[in-house]
Amino acid sequence: MARHLITSAIPYINGIKHLGNLVGSQLPADLYARYLRARGHEVMFLCATDEHGTPAELAAAKAGKPVDEFCAEMWGVQAKIADGFRLSFDHFGRSSSEQNKKLTQHFAAQLDKQGLIREVSETQMYSHADGRYLPDRYIEGTCPNCGFEDARGDQCDNCTKQLDPVELINPRSTISGSTDLEMRETKHLYLRQSEMKDQLDRWIDSKTDWPILTTSIAKKWLHDGDGLQDRGITRDLDWGVPVMKGDAPWPGMEGKVFYVWFDAPIEYIACAQEWVDAGKGTDWERWWRTDKGADDVRYTQFMGKDNVPFHTLSFPTTILGSGEPWKLVDYIKSFNYLNYDGGQFSTSRGRGVFMDQALEILPSDYWRWWLLSHAPESADSEFTWENFQVSVNKDLADVLGNFASRVTKFCRSKYSEAVPAGGAYGAREEQLMSDLAAKLAEYEAHMEAIEVRKSATALRAAWALGNEYLQEVAPWTTFKTDPDQAAAQIRLALNLIRLYAIISSPFIPDASAELLDAMKSDDDAWPTDIKAALAAMPEGHEFAVPEVTFRKITDAERTEWQERFAGTRD
């Protein structure tokens, strides 16, 4: 048994995420965590909300609430939705936690000690009305190049020339519209990632088994143009981790906070501390400190492609550069984007299905199955209602759900609601078991390699084996001449339901639990020995006929949802 640390990219606090966000990190991470637990491994699965930065401040202001209150509220909302999707985090933390604040300040001090922090003096625009500095996109004005009046601080959308905010003519705040602005000299800390370039390069080179998407993005940032650039890790904001050198003040940095991208990944570690402080565990260091027991931990991160640079370069710089024995990631599984019906999901325009809405219209298993079996692994993939309806109806209702239905109902009508006695297994049953063992081995191999789509394909094929067997031995026909033989066939089929429930649980945990419950079995051990697993429910074992495990999505529903989610969020 191995020990696995798994983290999902932490969703930003600002609003409810859409299905594309879900399938890009949290959902596949949950699949992997559930699978590993089912196989008996020790798993620590962590996620949190990413709460700092300007967007949170603005959203709070819009909601008319103090930012900390707003974040606490939104954390509750996200936690509830995550629970609705059965995301099995061992802890769902917050990047604004006290633990993360301390740890972020600690890392900054360590990096400074290692000579990896430098101070840079810059000129920025300060807004008196807003009482704050205005980062690039929070300032607009007339383009000095083409005269376009709505040029943004970082770039003119009209002539595409890149700009410095201080160059804008008649600059104004996009927050308040105020023109009472002033250029101010301000100091910031930069993380000297460029110093780590060669080390990071060798590290990435050694990861030959990582997804191409992961390594190609990392390589691009390492080698593009002048190579890896140093990155500013402080901001002139109120909402964030105050810039401190450990417990000590950082001269010249008063009133500043760390940039959200510096403290967010550190929350992966702080989250484990929160897990302990919440009374869920006793020792977080054995997961994160290689000098304190984390040597045998395998650490896997899940994320969408937009997060790859931070996880392959910035965060490793923090970890490696600290000079301390922190656990470094072993495998990064990255995902492309999920598109919605011919375009992108759009949070601002309310285009596509958001997590809360998805749960309103269908149980989480429907979404989990479709999203995972269509995960954007090799390229961007697309959600369409037609595809969703057809896939879910066919795979879940017809192939799996109906199998449980036809077997249990046949048994109830011809025998009783208990595993029937009589007959014996022959060559066809041996064949089924060996086919199943082979398919299961294939499924396990894909799961261990985190090949999500291929895992789903193998699982579905395992379900189909049951229908193929039934169709061939036709117990409804056998029953007329040899009830004992039919009993043996049904006995095997009933046991298949239990087995399917167990191996399907990483994908569809609720339905799996329902089926296992209907089979009145509390033995959910992974079937390492097919023959033994298919004998777990002996003759006479009682069961219940399950309710319709998966109902079908109707054409009317499909049409209705298609219209409902096409444009503006209600």
Partner RNA sequence: GGCGCGGUAGCUCAGUUGGUUAGAGCGAUCGACUCAUAAUCGAUAGGUCGGGAGUUCAAGUCUCCCCCACGCCA
Candidate residues 12, 35, 268, 337; the one interacting with RNA per rule CB under 7 A: 337
Nearest-approach distance from CB 20 to RNA, in angstroms:
11
CA distance 321 to 196: 8
Helices (H), 64-146: 67-84, 98-113
For residue 492, give the nearest of 515, 465, 517 by alpha carbon: 465
Interaction of residue 349 with RNA, rule CB under 7 A: no
Q: Quote the tokens at residue 90.
A: 């061992």
Interaction of residue 161 with RNA, rule CB under 7 A: no
Nearest-approach distance from CB 396 to RNA, in angstroms:
7
Of 451-470, binders to RNA (CB under 7 A) are: 453-454, 457, 460, 464, 467-468, 470
Interaction of residue 155 with RNA, rule CB under 7 A: yes
Residue 394 or 564 with smaller CB distance to RNA = 394
Q: Which residue(s) pair with 126 in the sheet?
A: 133, 182
| Torsion 401-405-406-407 (CA) sign | positive
Nearest-approach distance from CB 214 to RNA, in angstroms:
10
Q: Quote the tokens at residue 141.
A: 């004005």
Of 283-302, binders to RNA (CB under 7 A) are: none
Candidate residues 413, 431, 528, 554; the one interacting with RNA per rule CB under 7 A: 413
Interaction of residue 401 with RNA, rule CB under 7 A: yes
Nearest-approach distance from CB 511 to RNA, in angstroms:
9
Interaction of residue 434 with RNA, rule CB under 7 A: no
Q: Radius of gyration over alpha carbons of the chain, in Å?
A: 28
Q: Are strands 381-383 and 42-49 parallel, antiparallel or unpaired?
A: unpaired
Residue 129 or 399 with smaller CB distance to RNA = 399
Candidate residues 179, 346, 434, 477; the one interacting with RNA per rule CB under 7 A: 477
CA distance 73 to 561: 28
CA distance 54 to 329: 29
Interaction of residue 431 with RNA, rule CB under 7 A: no
Instruction: Give the binding range for RNA (CB under 7 A) out of 25-33, 184-192, 193-201, 400-408.
Output: 400-408
CA distance 4 to 33: 8
Note whether 92 and 82 are within 8 A (CB).
yes
Interaction of residue 427 with RNA, rule CB under 7 A: no
Interaction of residue 70 with RNA, rule CB under 7 A: no
User: CB-side exposure of 142: number of CA atoms within 13 Å?
Assistant: 6
Note whether 27 and 368 are within 8 A (CB).
yes
CA distance 392 to 385: 10
Please report, as ranges, the residues that interact with RNA according to CB under 7 A: 155, 160, 162, 212-213, 216-217, 220, 224, 305-306, 336-337, 339, 344, 374, 376-382, 387, 390-391, 394, 397-399, 401-402, 404-407, 409-410, 413, 453-454, 457, 460, 464, 467-468, 470-472, 474, 476-477, 548-552
